[in-house]
Chain A
Amino acid sequence: MSAFPVSSPEQGGAPLLSVRALRKTYSLPRGQTLKAVDGVSLDVLPGEVLGLVGESGCGKSTLGRCLLRLTDVSSGQITFEGQDITHLGERALRPLRQRMQMVFQDSYASLNPRRRIGDLLAEPLRVHPGPDGRKRPAAAITARLHELMDLVSLPVTALDRYPHEFSGGQRQRINIARALALSPRLVVADEPVSALDVSVQAQIVNLFADLQAQLGLTYVFVAHDLAVVRQISTRVAVMYLGAVVELGETDDVLHHPAHPYTAALTQAVPRPVVGASRHPPLRGDIPSPVARPSGCRFHTRCPMVQDRCRVEDPALHTVRPGHQVACHFPLAAD
């Protein structure tokens, strides 16, 4: 276990990752632009789990990729461990890649089907130098592979098998092991459990929680499932059409939402409890991110829209300590 730098969560310290006014636009044919991420500012504190939730087209996955510079950003600033990484080239990013890793949704597509698990996991260890700055010896790599299998509760024999021999849940464990191979500080997980069956989902959510506690990891957990995000996250950022509309402590945001969208979102999730017949809280569909509404981006579906909302885009501001919202008329905490 000594290979892991264990740091205890230190709330309020310097952020591990910090994003300011981040934008990511894609140009489409006919001169249109898609603002996938439209001016996002947030901090990821060491040792916390920041949940990014929202519906399709809200830009949560794009933001997740931008955070790790897996894609270029259009404007804004990304700081990791105090270093501005916004415009670093691929070569300069390489040493940093060890300290920030990603886990993807599709557990099968992220594993090369023709290679054994052991090879797949050993690759980053061979490519990146060890903590002493030199190439890792083969024995150290093998030891590390065994350690990783132990971490994700897979038998060591799994190393000799191919990806198709595993179930979805096991493959996601392998993906997690690969992300952890280089002992990162930050892991961005993009919908890591949404392709899994419910009965397997809980195992993987627990695994994420266990690893975080055990290794002092920091997560950015991207998901559309509010219940899963609530289970794992310390804080949560709710996104809508490319922007963060609400940000705060998880239960504060989900149980006392200040933004009408967050309120509708939590209300819309079907609960496995019989009784209260629910009315759909929102009408209409999410507008296309290509044609984002003027003013407040939510005003076309907002049940309490007012004239001001149609023209003026609300900025993210603090309503209560540790709780920010982008709404002109935030809901009161009841």
Chain B
Amino acid sequence: MITALLRRLGQTVFVLFGISALVFCVFFATPGADPTARIAGRNASPQTMEKVRKEYGFDRPLPVQYATMMKKLFITRDLASYVDRGELVVPEIARAAPVTVSLVCGAALIWVVASIAMGTLAAAMKGSWVDRGLMMLGLIGISMPVFWLGQVTNLITQSRYHDTWLFSWVPGLGYVPFTESPLGWFKALVIPWVVLAVMFIGIYSRVLRADLVALAGEDFMRTARAKGLSPTRVLLRHGLRTSMVTFVSLFGLDFAQLVGGGALLTEVVFGLPGVGRLTYQALTNLDLPLIMATVMYSAVFVVLANAVVDSVYLLLDPRVRDAR
């Protein structure tokens, strides 16, 4: 068990190294582009250029440049953005991360609960109008782009119907830290949660339904029915439980990429100062150090989430447990 964990840790470190090297190469070792100019930003003075060149070691070989960059990112954490007047990048991400985590966790809770309910109900009533209705709803959810849906809800809740009893509680755009006011935090986030969750509810409920319907033809489902179990028990304890293996692996990846900054559009639309919005700003300003930092942050999350999914897998599927 210990060796398995250590091996897993080793793999994680190796993957992170690979990603960081790749990102570094893309940004700083692309032939024909001078990284100094790109870090210093547009129209930087020659003094700034010289300072940047020294600080990042761009006059020295590539491995040293890479080491300098990693040191600035992880050890001294003094990677600074020149575009943004010397703002330190790492603390900036540290401030943005809780916002993103709050947004994604809430949305994930909603979409997991809703999609399991919808998918299971649709599978149980396969072929009926309930099934067709739910799946149609899911398809609509998938086809509505999150930025559009966000804008529409903003339009409704912030301006058009804000003064009605229904939406008068909705606070203005922005984020309220949980530590400051739990209720305020909830109020600020509940609409972004739902908006972000809609598409995933659509995808997950459809995937789950398809999985459950396919499972219904499995031998063990037939055995469960032949045992005289009730249809509900067959569907939930045997079908749904087995489907969870697929569900979790799908969930892990989506969750990780959202926490890693994938909820960018939602954050921008609702004015939430999360990692996604930070990435968005970095991209619009071509703020190289910030891009580098957000990409690394994202990579760390995806890799960590993958490790977590693998462990959950071990809990869910005894066959995987033995194959290790």
Contact = CB atoms under 8 A, between A and B. Distances in A.
A29 interface: yes
B227 interface: no
Nearest to B324: A29
Interface in B192-241: none
A29 B324 CA distance: 6
B2 interface: no
B8 to A, nearest CB: 13
Contacts of B323: 29
3 contacts: A29-B323, A29-B324, A30-B324
Interface string A1-45: 000000000000000000000000000011000000000000000
A30 B321 CA distance: 12
The 3 A-B pairs with the shortest beta carbon distances in the complex, nearest first, are: A29-B323, A29-B324, A30-B324
A30 B324 CA distance: 7
A30 B4 CA distance: 10
A29 B323 CA distance: 7
Query: What's the dominant secondary structure at chain A's contact region?
Result: helix
Interface residues of A, number: 2
Interface in A182-224: none
Contacts of A29: 323-324
A217 B323 CA distance: 43
Interface of A: 29-30
A290 to B, nearest CB: 12
Contacts of A30: 324
Interface in B302-324: 323-324
Interface string B132-172: 00000000000000000000000000000000000000000
A30 B323 CA distance: 9
A34 to B, nearest CB: 14
B288 to A, nearest CB: 42
B44 to A, nearest CB: 54
B1 to A, nearest CB: 12
B317 to A, nearest CB: 15
A244 to B, nearest CB: 31
A311 B323 CA distance: 31
Nearest to B323: A29
Interface string B116-136: 000000000000000000000
B162 to A, nearest CB: 59
A130 B70 CA distance: 63
A29 B3 CA distance: 13
Nearest to A30: B324
Contacts of B324: 29-30
A29 B322 CA distance: 9
A30 B7 CA distance: 12
A90 to B, nearest CB: 30
B10 to A, nearest CB: 16
B131 to A, nearest CB: 30
Nearest to B3: A30
A29 B319 CA distance: 13
B11 to A, nearest CB: 14
A91 B323 CA distance: 35
A32 to B, nearest CB: 11
A30 B322 CA distance: 10
B319 to A, nearest CB: 13
A90 B219 CA distance: 41
A26 to B, nearest CB: 14
A312 B55 CA distance: 72
A205 B324 CA distance: 43
B310 to A, nearest CB: 14
A29 B320 CA distance: 12
Nearest to A28: B323
A132 B237 CA distance: 66
B247 to A, nearest CB: 25
A168 B7 CA distance: 47
A296 to B, nearest CB: 29
Interface in B12-53: none
A308 to B, nearest CB: 35
A280 B323 CA distance: 33
A218 to B, nearest CB: 40
A30 to B, nearest CB: 8
A29 to B, nearest CB: 6
B262 to A, nearest CB: 33
A30 B1 CA distance: 11
A165 B324 CA distance: 43
A67 B324 CA distance: 32
